[in-house]
Copies of this chain bind each other. A is one copy, B any other.
């Protein structure tokens, strides 16, 4: 039931060279583990370092200090089986929807036809059937996000990093996508790290919600969400358990957000 952690960050620190010539610490002394098959949501004030944390796990950025382990091995390059849905649009403007989704299988050695077949399934699943031949600039923002989602999921990752994947979707599509995500995830052993600004979303989806401190990010608190699965995202929102957890996490988060604002004004003074 509780396998070894697939993701482990030990005192990970990440510094960036600030353009002023100084050093900006985005993540500091972050220790956190995610077990196989777990669904962890991460919330925290804007700009605290959530995206940076994901980039550490994905191996795209090396930590400045500390270690990052995936499946027990230290991360030096991108570990296999990782899927990462970026916060910003990362679809290729020069490829059609279908070819965008087929990118992953193509990169991983599938033949063109096979990759397209697999892609077609996913394009339909995210509700873009009929738009296969469109180029990204012909789609609305929400549709592009769905392309990105399909692009990531078509690789069937074991570790899924998602950086505010649904923030640009409309309410209905969003809850459909949330349900779809849960369904897909339930059928797999994938560990999910899901960054979001939407506390409701975090609670509705996750087994555990991690609250991050204001910048530099580190884990402030971690809350287990004991809501039963399978969940229907729409229904669960109105339950008492949900509201209780919501309030608890909210209090923790509010503190950090306020702190972030205060510090900003302090620095200005």
Please report the C-alpha to C-alpha distance between residue A268 and residue B46 in the assembled complex, in whole angstroms.
Answer: 39
Q: Contacts of A257 on B, CB cut-off 8 Å?
A: 170, 172-173
Please report the C-alpha to C-alpha distance between residue A181 and residue B140 in the assembled complex, in whole angstroms.
Answer: 26
Contact indicator A131/B88 (Cβ below 8 Å): no
Q: Would you call A223 an interface residue if the criterion is a C-beta within 8 Å of the partner chain's C-beta atoms?
A: no
Residues of A near any B CB (own CB < 8 A): 18-19, 43-47, 51, 87-88, 124, 127-132, 135, 138-143, 164, 167-174, 197-199, 253-254, 257-258, 261, 263-269
Please report the C-alpha to C-alpha distance between residue A46 and residue B144 in the assembled complex, in whole angstroms.
Answer: 10
Q: Contacts of A199 on B, CB cut-off 8 Å?
A: 171
Other-chain residue from B130, B253, B265 in contact with A265 (beta carbon distance below 8 A)? B130
Contact indicator A254/B47 (Cβ below 8 Å): no
Contact indicator A129/B264 (Cβ below 8 Å): yes
Other-chain residue from B88, B197, B265 in contact with A142 (beta carbon distance below 8 A)? B197
Contact indicator A167/B170 (Cβ below 8 Å): no
Contact indicator A143/B174 (Cβ below 8 Å): no
Query: Contacts A171-B197, A173-B257, A265-B124 hold; do A18 and B131 have CB atoms under 8 A apart?
Result: no
Least Cβ–Cβ distance between A257 and chain B, in angstroms = 4
Query: Copies of this chain, how many?
Result: 2
Please report the C-alpha to C-alpha distance between residue A267 and residue B134 in the assembled complex, in whole angstroms.
Answer: 13
Please report the C-alpha to C-alpha distance between residue A142 and residue B197 in the assembled complex, in whole angstroms.
Answer: 10
Please report the C-alpha to C-alpha distance between residue A46 and residue B166 in the assembled complex, in whole angstroms.
Answer: 12
Q: Contacts of A128 on B, CB cut-off 8 Å?
A: 264
Please report the C-alpha to C-alpha distance between residue A18 and residue B258 in the assembled complex, in whole angstroms.
Answer: 47
Contact indicator A138/B19 (Cβ below 8 Å): yes
Q: Beyond A130-B268, A131-B264, A172-B254: 6 further Cβ-contacts under 8 Å?
A: A47-B139, A129-B265, A130-B263, A167-B168, A170-B197, A171-B253
Least Cβ–Cβ distance between A220 and chain B, in angstroms = 14
List, sorted by A's number, 17 A–B pairs whose CB atoms are closer than 8 Å: A18-B138, A43-B170, A43-B171, A44-B170, A45-B173, A46-B140, A46-B143, A47-B143, A87-B141, A88-B141, A129-B264, A130-B267, A142-B197, A171-B198, A171-B253, A172-B258, A174-B197
Query: Which single residue of chain B is at the shortest CB-CB distance from A146?
Result: B46
Please report the C-alpha to C-alpha distance between residue A253 and residue B45 in the assembled complex, in whole angstroms.
Answer: 31
Query: Which single residue of chain B is at the shortest CB-CB distance from A51?
Result: B140
Q: Contacts of A171 on B, CB cut-off 8 Å?
A: 43, 197-199, 253
Query: Which single residue of chain B is at the shortest CB-CB distance from A87?
Result: B141
Query: Which single residue of chain B is at the shortest CB-CB distance from A201?
Result: B171
